[in-house]
Chains A and B, each alone.
Chain A
């Protein structure tokens, strides 16, 4: 896989990151060298090997269904740039 200008612009847009031309060029170079390096793995024969979604051999820990009263609004809203009557206030999102 080759990263080109279009791909880097798409990734930037999806990540909501603004890149100038110089930065785009740098990222294209960086990402391509990372991908090239990873592509070495293609040399390994993985036929009949199950995909691995996690390297840990432990099993998923589960909790009991007990709710803890948090009464969290003050703490949760503490760093909010803007709030009103317990709500976060954000620039209008219109659908």
Chain B
């Protein structure tokens, strides 16, 4: 695979690392009992702790800690028995404390890795540096009033997991696959709802470019991207920008960038007078967080089957390709759907590949067109299983099956009902097909002559005519065989 970008003088390679901020799925905030519900009226879920009133003390949410440990296990990472909460100091209108409680030197989770799978069957490991727990800040609205910024503290104090990767990513696509994989793991674990639109999952992207084999170049950080599409766009734009500067003899200034989603361009955040000086120090209001091996063990035992395990199970049980299996396990709702469909009839086990194809091509495109989630699919897994059974037992042709599928989607009826009602059963009766073909041959003497004279392409014409006469119901293979046979006999 060629991951390089053509430059004026030589090729360039991108070096990318991601910091993913995932909101912990919990009822209450990391250090207070305020609700974490999304979309409530402004400042309605703000306790005196979240507003940083004098004398308020943080008390940690046990469940958020367990969620972080679970996630660490899902990332194949080391769980640290000892971690420390630090204060990261900076002033901003939506940060009432004047500092964010985060983890600096001693994070709760250490080194791990996740695997991404490519279409060509290969895969690649992306190493994780760490995962730490921290508070979210409030939300600022800058565009409502020319001279004011409006601040909502509902999000202030909500627990976030920051997941930091090594700079192992080399292309925008890999970055997209990496964040999809993390999202999938989080959703299987139920530790984050994965909703990128609501900001439950967002990423900062670090990117530099270099001549292949060289040392890392100077990097820029693009802040706060909340969709995979924007992540890819931002990387592409930023890499191009850096290459242009370097090729015209300039040098990259390490900078924090913002991505404008309407122009597709990155621009530097206004340079702060001074480089960041967060003055991290251990939060004197919080004791170190200690987790015993027993606790870690008990959390581990509560973890459901993860995408990679499930993927391997699918490959082994159903002889699926690595890529097919990874598509099925990309989201829990997809693997659940597949499981239910394939288990709805015990003959389907041998048609697993067909089941996958019908889910990932026909069903997905219908859902897409109608803006529906798989969870709300009008075609139940059982009905899809039945459809595949009708195909694999030769009762209906693949072409007819497409129409049946669309009918199932709009009417909600089962495949069997539709096939019976409309008389779509495939014609496999040898004599019936022969009769139709004889008619076609008789009706088109000129074409037959041309065909026999060497115009082999005309075979398609005869197939089409015969299919039309059977309303598409003839078994295509039988039809083909009989047709060739009959035509050749004319010779």
**Interface set of A (CB-CB < 8 Å, partner B):** 10, 13-14, 16, 53-54, 56, 58-73, 76-77, 82, 84-95
27 contacts between A and B (CB under 8 A): A14-B89, A14-B274, A14-B279, A53-B288, A59-B287, A59-B290, A60-B60, A61-B59, A62-B60, A62-B65, A63-B60, A67-B27, A67-B37, A68-B35, A70-B33, A72-B43, A84-B145, A84-B148, A84-B150, A87-B152, A88-B43, A88-B93, A90-B93, A92-B148, A95-B142, A95-B269, A95-B270
Q: CB distance A63 to B47 under 8 Å?
A: no
Which A residue's beta carbon lies closest to that of B43? A73
Q: Which of B34-84 contact A (CB under 8 A)?
A: 34-37, 41-47, 51, 59-65, 84
Contacts of B93 in A (CB 8 A): 88, 90, 93
Is there contact, CB below 8 Å, between A76 and B46?
A: yes
**CB of B250 within 8 A of chain A?**
no
Across-interface contacts of A63 in B (CB, < 8 A): 33, 59-62
B234 within 8 A of A: no
B277 within 8 A of A: yes
Residues of chain A within 8 A (CB-CB) of B33 are: 63, 66-68, 70
A53-B84, A84-B150 given; A67·B42 CB < 8 A: no
How close is A14's CB to chain B, nearest CB, in angstroms? 6
Contact B34 A64 (CB under 8 A): no
The complex places the Cα of A68 from the Cα of B61 at a distance, in Å, of 13
Footprint of A on B, CB under 8 Å?
Answer: 26-28, 33-37, 41-47, 51, 59-65, 84, 89, 91-93, 140-142, 145-153, 258, 269-270, 273-274, 277, 279, 282, 284, 286-290
CA separation between A89 and B145, bound complex, in Å? Answer: 10
- Structural contact, A70 and B140, CB atoms closer than 8 A: no
Residues on A with beta carbons closer than 8 Å to the beta carbon of B35: 67-70
Whole-angstrom distance between the Cβ of A57 and the nearest chain B Cβ: 10
Asked if B28 and A54 sit within 8 Å, CB to CB, the answer is no
Flag if B34 contacts A68 (CB, 8 Å): yes
Question: A53 vs B284: C-alpha distance in the bound complex, in angstroms?
Answer: 8
List 13 additional contacts besides A73-B41, A87-B151; criterion CB under 8 Å.
Answer: A13-B274, A53-B287, A62-B59, A62-B61, A67-B34, A68-B35, A70-B46, A73-B44, A77-B43, A88-B153, A92-B148, A92-B149, A93-B92
Q: Is the CB of B148 within 8 A of A91?
A: yes
In the complex formed, the residue of B with least CB distance to A88 is B151
Contacts of B89 in A (CB 8 A): 14
User: Contact between A93 and B43 (Cβ–Cβ < 8 Å)?
Assistant: no
Complex alpha-carbon distance, A58 and B65, angstroms: 18
What's the Cα separation between A43 and B146 when bound, in Å?
A: 58
- Is A76 within 8 A of B282, CB to CB? no
**Contact between chains at B62 and A93 (CB < 8 Å):** no
Residue of B nearest to A93 (CB): B149
- Chain B residues lying within 8 Å of A93, measured Cβ to Cβ, are 92-93, 140, 142, 149
> Which chain A residue shows the least CB distance to B141?
A87
CB distance from B298 to the nearest CB of A (A): 15
* Cα A62 to Cα B63 with chains together (Å): 9
User: Considering the chains assembled together, what is the distance between the CA atoms of A92 and B152 in angstroms?
Assistant: 14
Is the pair A90, B148 in contact by a Cβ cutoff of 8 Å?
A: yes
The distance in angstroms between the C-alpha atoms of A58 and B145, with both chains bound, is 49
Pick the residue among A10, A72, A94 that contacts B142 (CB under 8 A): A94
Q: Are the C-beta atoms of A85 and B42 separated by less than 8 Å?
A: yes
Q: Pick from A14, A62, A70: contact of B45, CB below 8 A.
A: A70
Interface centre among A14, A72, A84 (most CB of B within 10 A): A72
Across the interface, name the chain B residue whose C-beta is closest to A57. B287
CB neighbours (8 Å) of A59 from chain B are: 287, 290
State whether A90 touches B45 (Cβ < 8 A): no
A contact residues around B282 at 8 Å (CB): 53-54
A67 to B289, CA, bound (A): 22
Chain A residues contacting B290 (CB-CB under 8 Å) are: 59-60
Q: Are A58 and B42 in contact (CB under 8 A)?
A: no
- Chain B residues whose CB sits within 8 angstroms of the CB of A87 once the complex forms: 42-43, 141, 150-152
- Are B287 and A54 within 8 A (Cβ)? yes
Q: Find the B residue at minimum CB distance from A73.
A: B43
B357 vs chain A, min Cβ distance (A): 42
Cα–Cα, bound, A61→B288 (Å)? 10
Contact B47 A72 (CB under 8 A): yes
Asked whether, in the complex, the Cβ of B146 is within 8 Å of the Cβ of A92, the reply is yes
Residues of B within 8 A of A64 (CB): 62-63
Please state if B286 and A60 are interface contacts (CB–CB under 8 Å): yes
Question: Is the beta-carbon distance between B51 and A76 smaller than 8 angstroms?
Answer: yes
> Which residues from A are CB-within-8-Å of B60?
60-63
Contacts of A10 in B (CB 8 A): 274, 277
Report the minimal beta-carbon distance from A36 to chain B, rounded to whole angstroms: 21
Most buried by A among B27, B43, B91: B43
Q: Which residues of B are found within 8 Å of A60, using beta-carbon distances?
A: 60, 286-290
Complex Cα distance, B60 from A16, in Å, reads 30
Q: How distant is the Cα of A59 from the Cα of B81 in the complex, in angstroms? A: 13
Taking CB atoms, residues of chain A closer than 8 Å to B63 are: 64-65
Q: Which residues of A contact B64 (CB under 8 A)?
A: 65
**Given A13-B274, A88-B151, residue A54 in contact with residue B288 (CB < 8 A):** yes
Which residues of B sit under 8 angstroms from A68, Cβ to Cβ? Answer: 28, 33-35, 47
Q: Closest residue of chain A to B282, judged by CB?
A: A53
Q: Which of A13, A61, A67, A86 contacts B44 (CB 8 A)?
A: A86
